[in-house]
Each structure stands twice: as structure tokens, then as C-alpha cells.
Structure 1
Amino acid sequence: MTILSCSATKCMYNDHELCSRGDIEITGNGAHRADETSCGSFRERSSGSAMNSTGEHCGCKKINIDCKAQECTYNEHSKCTASAIDVSGCSTEGCNETQCSTFACKC
């Protein structure tokens, strides 16, 4: 599993820059740069919703990452092999842009 730090604080799964989803998918099949990737699991938090209202989930420091960025150095059979990654994302209202800041092209 990979250590994840996520700054996409408008994501409904973000819990103090950790992910409460359990696993994520990084998209960007033809990516050659970090800004061509994104967190495919991102879901914008609605203003009235309470995250983790059931109390069953907590932010996870280590997470399974399915990676579709085939040109990334850390992609091995669609799994992320990096020891740690950063998913960056804006924290302003209405913003849903994310990227894997750790992406490194093997091309």
C-alpha cells in the first residue's frame, strides 16, 4: 500500500488530507505530465452534507491505488508502486481539478 497525502479538501472523501474511501483510482492513460493525471475517485463534497456521518470510515494514511497512467514510472500492472504520493487539488468552492503530483514519466 502507498502512503497518500491529499490536498483536495473539497473532496467528500478527504479527512484531514487523508482519504476515507479506502482505495482510489488515478486516471490519465496517455499522461506524460502530472497535470494530465487526476484522481478519478474525486467526488465534490456538497455544502450541506456531513462527511463520514456514519462514523464507520476514517482517513487512511496507506491506501491501494489503481493507476491508469501507463507512462508513470510507479505504475506496475495498473497498480501504484510508489512508497508515497501526493494528490493535489484545489480547495475552493466548485473546483474539482486534481492531479497526482508524484507522477514521473518513464518516457
Structure 2
Amino acid sequence: MKTMKYLAQLFLCLSVVCSGFVYSADYIGSPVTTIHKVLSYSQYGNGDVAFTIASKFENCNGFWFNKSEPGFNAMLSMLIAAYQAKNNLVVYAEPDKIWTGSSASFCHVYALEYK
């Protein structure tokens, strides 16, 4: 219980910190949605994590990020928590950075925001 409270506080702080930076013209935001599927690769890329959302989003068929990124642990924690709790969120992504691990357009994740 104490761990869940700590994670909730951490996610709230990260959402507040990240929300001020996500409104750049280089990033696009998905509709408010939930996480549909999460994939983790041990050897592809640099520890790539890919996921899809429940809502249709014509710009991106899915999203990805990898272990070499500074915010990987926080992003993965938020993603797993949102998936398990079926929380609403918005995914902010860079549509010009397409993942090579899929034939579909998987866009690089810039930020996650709980709604």
C-alpha cells in the first residue's frame, strides 16, 4: 500500500513536470485513451519497449522508447501502472522518429500524461 502511494505521488510529480514541456510543435498528442498492449524486447534495439493504445490515432499505429533514454525507468513505470490500472492518458510522440522494429508507424514517445 505504501509503495502504491509512493508510485502515485511520483507519477503525479512527473506528470506535472512533463506537462509544461509537451506542447512543442515537434510533438503530437494522442486522444485521451488507455494502453492496449505493451511489448518489451530484451535484445532488439537497445532494450526497446513498444506499446499500442486503445484509440485510433492516424499519426502513429503505436509508440516506442528504449533503455538508453534518461527517462526510461520513469516512463516504463508510468506505462505499466497505466496499463494495469486502465488509467486514461495522453501519449505525446515524435512522429518523425519511427521505430525500425515494426512495419507500421510506431512513433517515439516524448512524454506520458495521466488524465
| TM-score normalised by the chain length of structure 2 | 0.29
| TM-score normalised by the chain length of structure 1 | 0.31
Larger helix percent: 2
